[in-house]
Structure 1
Amino acid sequence: MITNTQPLKALLIAAASAAALSFSQVSLAEWKLTFAHAHPVEDSQHLAAERFAERVAERTSGEVTVRIFPSGQLGDDPGMIAGVRGGTIDIELSGNPYFSGLVGELNVLDLPFLFEDADQAYRVLDGSVGQDLLGRMADKGIKGLAFWEIGFRNLTNSRRPVEDAADIKGLKLRTTPNPAHIAAFKALGANPTPMPFAELFTSLETRTVDGQENPVTLIRSAKLHEVQEHLSLTAHAYTAAPLIMNKARFDSLPAEFQQVLEQEALAAARYQRELNNSRMADDLAFLKAQGVKVVEQPDRASMRAIAEQPVRANFIDKHGRELLDAVERAK
């Protein structure tokens, strides 16, 4: 008996084609990633995020796309980190101080006067110590992709020039919620007041707080010069910024796309650092031109003598010496 198989073959081919199309559409929908951060679009974080998104799309032929939500559109820093853990946000960037409540050992990076220059910080962050720290977030549902940066923190306020440690005493300063930052300013006699970055400008404008501490580039991009009269280049602490992703989401991607995300996260970190370094002089000149009074060479030694050892001792009491020693060796 002869059977005509052509209609059956056509039906099977059509069904296979429909299934493939359906799978492709689902896959593409799954690989549209959200990326949230708190900084303004003028800031290097956003510019680096755009570079990251462009490169990821290019290297995956558009199969992985990244949509960026800047300026705290998806919440403040703690809220965005919670969003990543809960799966409502795919990728997020916040300063390291916001992660120390999840992984206490990350607080080592925020110790005052830990790094003398950016190169020391980059060697630690991009090396085995940095990879170890990123990996410690895994059991919190977080995949650490790379360390971007906030940068070296400098002190601004609306009351007086800060020439030495004594001038910090009595100032009400917005800080991050990081234990090292809070302890350092308490030791210096200030009144540290933790709050989200999104609330900072209004709090300075209304004099809820006298001042704050952030890198020069962010002071400019966030327009803090409009509500602060004095800037002191204290460089009292360096702040890294972990770029994180929901771990389950990361694990769901094909291995080759996971590799692209990790590689481009590190490449964008280096791009952002270059932006910050290249913009520093111009940003400082801009702030001066806006009338900000700048103390370029404050007595950092007087601040270090008060804040460094007590904060380190507190970290060692909680977490031991091993990690701090590894940072010192890696520098």
Structure 2
Amino acid sequence: MIKKGVLIFSIVLLLAFSFKTYAENFTIRFSHVVSENSPKGRAINYFKNTLEKRTKGRIKVKVYPAGILLDDIAAVGAVKNNIIQMASPAFSKLGLYVRDFQVFDIPYLFENKDEIHNAYTGEIGDILKKKSLSAGFRLLSFWDNGFKVITNNSRSISVPGDMKNLIFRTMGSEVLALQFQLCDAIAYSYPFSSVYDLLKEGVVDGQENTFNNIYSQKIHEVQRYMTISDHGYLGYGVIISPQFWKKLPVSDRKLIKDVLRKTTSLEHKLAAKQNFNDFYRIKNDTSSKITIKELKKEEKEKWENFFKEHYNEFSQIVSDDIFSEALKLN
């Protein structure tokens, strides 16, 4: 029989240990590849400031922006090994670890942002979270950037065939490689941080990106032509190290999720607003010589029909369940 004094002492020790675990100070290292003024960069800084404020500095977030520490591909590996704790790679880069993330790269598979957000919160999101954990990282949230447009230095592009023989920088997914291959163009994968120099030096002819990435990286200053194709979606997965996550008290996990939920709502708004504003900044930039091609309805339909004719090929890259769920959202 346990004596009353021993029992009380044991409870005190347990409570002390629990308090120590809860009150432990630690740092989250968070890497990303875009500028701090981008929607993602601003959202990560909000996450940092809010989490640090709510814990009175007990939890600190060390942010490494603009690829100064790691590019997206290396960051995923670092998260898996708990070298860093968090990252927010583009879907295309996560697709190198979980192929189904490339569903967002398939041209015109999603018609608008509502369908994208339904994918995040529906079966597609659930499937990606499960497969991410099996791949060695935990997917906590989905963040927006926007629909992509095409730029190049050689000629105005009105139809997909106009890209023939041009070299485009891509993020490296199989879907993106096939996308340009179908247009008889050449796709090369390079880190985002090197895109401006590659275009300026003529190593590649063009690239695809969102308005805010184009403007923040000054890509429009070294490109002559832009086609507003809105052909594929650029988004990000916010991931965390499973090793790190398992060691956290339940209370800290709940806190991080709560702050991240509010951050995600903010990030979605920032992305929509900044893409809208940056389009007009690019359009009205008198120092830039870029010519913007806005597709008419019938021209846009030609792009959509061209790529939809090849959906059977794109569907071979992702799993049947992901592709069929995406089709249901149309």
State the TM-score, normalizing by the size of structure 1.
0.87
**Residue 302 of structure 1 pairs with residue 297 of structure 2:** no
Match of 1:3 in 2: none
Distance across 2 between alignment mates of 1:281 and 1:318: 32
2:75 alignment partner, SS class:
helix
1:131-150 correspondence runs (5 A) = 131-150=126-145
Shift of 1:309: 3.6
Q: Which runs of 5+ in 1 are unaligned?
A: 1-11
Match of 1:89 in 2: 84
Q: Which runs of 5+ in 2 are unaligned?
A: 1-8
CA displacement 1:117-143 (0-9 Å, x = unmatched):
111101111334213212211122211
**RMSD, aligned α-carbons:** 2.3
**Residue 67 of structure 1 pairs with residue 66 of structure 2:** no
Structure of greater Rg:
1
Q: Which moved more, 1:241-250 or 1:262-271?
A: 262-271
1:104-143 correspondence runs (5 A) = 104-143=99-138
Query: Does structure 1 conserve the Cα–Cα contact (< 8 Å) formed by 2:22 and 2:252?
Result: no
Equivalent of residue 279 in structure 2, options 267, 284, 287: 284
Distance across 2 between alignment mates of 1:169 and 1:269: 39
Query: Does structure 2 conserve the Cα–Cα contact (< 8 Å) formed by 1:141 and 1:248?
Result: no
Shift of 1:236: 0.6
**Residue 27 of structure 1 pairs with residue 28 of structure 2:** no
Percent same amino acid at aligned positions?
A: 22
Q: Which moved more, 1:128-137 or 1:221-230?
A: 128-137
The letter for the 1-side match of 2:293 is: V
Match of 1:223 in 2: 218
2:148 alignment partner, SS class:
strand
- How many residue pairs get aligned? The number is 311
Match of 2:6 in 1: none
Distance across 2 between alignment mates of 1:169 and 1:263: 48
Q: 1:241 to 1:320 in 2, by over 3 A?
A: closer
Shift of 1:294: 1.0
CA displacement 1:274-317 (0-9 Å, x = unmatched):
1122223321121122232111226232222332342x323433
Shift of 1:260: 2.3
Match of 1:212 in 2: 207
Query: Does structure 1 conserve the Cα–Cα contact (< 8 Å) formed by 2:227 and 2:293?
Result: yes
Equivalent of residue 248 in structure 1, options 243, 249, 252: 243
Shift of 1:95: 0.5
Q: 1:106 to 1:235 in 2, by over 3 A?
A: same
Match of 1:325 in 2: 324
1:305 alignment partner, SS class:
helix
Distance across 1 between alignment mates of 2:317 and 2:154: 36
Distance across 1 between alignment mates of 2:274 and 2:319: 38
CA displacement 1:51-97 (0-9 Å, x = unmatched):
11122223334332211110001121111111111211110011001
The letter for the 2-side match of 1:27 is: E
Query: Does structure 2 conserve the Cα–Cα contact (< 8 Å) formed by 1:145 and 1:261?
Result: no
Match of 2:3 in 1: none
CA displacement 1:133-187 (0-9 Å, x = unmatched):
1221112221111011232111011122222223222221101111111101110
**Residue 168 of structure 1 pairs with residue 166 of structure 2:** no
Query: Does structure 2 conserve the Cα–Cα contact (< 8 Å) formed by 1:97 and 1:176?
Result: yes
Shift of 1:188: 1.2
The letter for the 2-side match of 1:235 is: D
Distance across 2 between alignment mates of 1:186 and 1:153: 17
Match of 1:190 in 2: 185
